[in-house]
Amino acid sequence: MVLANRSDAVKTLKVMGLPVHVGTDYADWLLAQYRSGEGSHVVTLNAEMAMQADRNPALRHIILGADLVIPDGAGVVLYFRAKGKRVERTPGIEMAGQVLQRLTGQETAFFYGGAPGITDHAALHWQRQSPGIQIVGTQHGFLSPEEQPALLQRLADLQPSVILVGLGVPRQEIWIRDHRHLCPHSIWIGVGGSFDIWAGVKTRAPGWMCRSNLEWLYRLYQEPWRWRRMVALPQFAWRSLTYSAR
């Protein structure tokens, strides 16, 4: 894995056999990687994704091969703390935002995913937040198979520095795997529902809930239908603590 060879300050921990990288400023590392001519695929790991990977060999293989896997979910962080390892949660939306904020005027971004209009509003949010940011394209995530080739050609022509993909797990990870070769030097990040938040359609939990690793509870309050997905949390707690390497 590229990351392990880049810096002695970076450590790779394991949960359920999946890597989690700690010990660095993720945004700085990714931009240094990009500026040295190397691309990256970033995975933001939480308990639900870990449980999906336990059942989905394709997703597991993608996570194992990712250049950077960050501890996005409270369950992942609490697992490491139970093992005596001090790991801080890094929400994917915050890490992706830090990357965007640190782009130079010559570096560009592309937003793909969400419902029609969402990425456009997310781009406007970032143009207000960071005047001068170069967002060279947006595209909603409801394309037909016949429309996909035009999107892929746009990416190949534009070669954005950062490509954010919000299609949900595992679709966004699979999509990145299948198309990363089109922009081999880009930073590719699966951002889930981040576009909805940047667009103002949804809100994040209050700061105290984020700091207390309770953001998942706020999301359940906002979207009660998510309760079925939240079942992954106790399943993850049991599976991670009883996991034996395959």
Residues 19-77: tens digit of each pLDDT? 999 989 999 999 999 999 999 999 999 999 999 999 999 999 999 999 999 999 888 99
Weakest mean pLDDT among 182-191, 202-211, 213-222: 213-222
| Low-confidence winner among 152-156, 177-181, 187-191, 200-204 (lowest mean pLDDT) | 200-204
Mean pLDDT on 157-186: 98
Helix 47-55 / helix 74-82 crossing angle, nearest 10 deg: 90
Q: Which residues, other chains included, contact 243 with Cβ-Cβ below 8 Å and sequence gap of 6+?
A: 15, 16, 17
User: Degrees (nearest 5) of the Cα angle 129, 133, 136?
Assistant: 125
pTM: 0.87
**What integer pLDDT is reported at residue 244 of this predicted model?**
60
What is the overall mean pLDDT for the chain?
88
Distance CA 132, CA 213 (A): 34
Checking if the pLDDT of 81 tops 70, the result is yes
pLDDT tens track for 108-144: 999 999 999 999 999 999 999 999 999 999 999 999 9
3-state helix, strand, coil in the chain (%, to 5): 50, 15, 35
Q: Which residues contact 32 (CB under 8 A, 6 or more apart)?
A: none
